[in-house]
Amino acid sequence: MNRFASVGDSAVLVELASEFTEQANQHVVALDQAINRAIDEASVVGIVETVPAYVSVLVVFDPLVTDHDAVRAAISLLDTTGAATVDPSRHHVAVCYDLGVAPDLEAVAAYSRLSPDGLVEAHLSGSYRVVMYGFAPGYAYLSGVPDSINVPRKQQPVRGVPAGSVIIAGGQCLITTIEMPTGWSVIGRTHFRVLPDQPDAPFAFRPGDEIVFDRITLDEYEATS
Partner 1 sequence: MNTASLRVVAAGPLVTFQDGGRLGHLRHGIPASGPMDRRAHAIANVVLGNPAAATAVEISRAGASFECVGASLTVAVVGGRFLTSVNGVAVGSDVAMTLGPGDQLVVAAGPSGSWAYLAVAGDLVASQWLGHTATHSLSGLGGGNVTAGLDVEVLATRADPRVDGPVGVFAGNGLVDGAVRVVLGPQDHRFTAEALRHFVTVPFALTEGFDRMGVRLDGPQLDLDAALSIPSEPIVRGSVQVAGDGVATVLLADHQTTGGYPKIATVVSADLDALCQLRPGDSVRFVPVTPTQAIVVARARAAAFEKFLDSDLLATRRLARRLTETDLIGDVGTDILG
Residues within the interface to partner 1 (CB under 8 A): 5-11, 13, 15, 18-20, 48-58, 60, 63-64, 67-68, 132-141, 177-178, 180, 202-203, 207
CB-wise, 59 or 109, nearer to partner 1? 59
Q: How far is the CB of 155 from partner 1 (least distance, A)?
A: 13
Q: How far is the CB of 83 from partner 1 (least distance, A)?
A: 20
Amino acid of residue 204? A
CB-wise, 55 or 187, nearer to partner 1? 55
Amino acid of residue 29? V
Q: How far is the CB of 156 from partner 1 (least distance, A)?
A: 15
Rounded to an integer, what is the distance from CA 4 to the centroid of its chain?
23
Helix (H) or strand (E) holding 118: helix 116-124
Q: How far is the CB of 170 from partner 1 (least distance, A)?
A: 9
CB-wise, 30 or 105, nearer to partner 1? 30
Using DSSP, state whether 217 is helix, strand or coil.
Answer: coil
CB-wise, 63 or 162, nearer to partner 1? 63
Crossing angle for the helix pair 22-40 and 68-76, nearest 10 degrees?
A: 110
Cα 45 to Cα 55: distance, rounded to the nearest angstrom: 24
Q: How far is the CB of 3 from partner 1 (least distance, A)?
A: 9
CB-wise, 132 or 187, nearer to partner 1? 132
Expressed in angstroms, the distance from the first to the final Cα of the chain is 48
CA distances from 125 to 44, 47, 118, 128 (A): 42, 40, 10, 9
Q: How far is the CB of 173 from partner 1 (least distance, A)?
A: 14
Can you say whether the dihedral through the CA atoms of 217, 173, 175, 161 is positive or negative? negative
Cα 83 to Cα 213: distance, rounded to the nearest angstrom: 26
Neighbours of 176 (CB within 10 A): 22
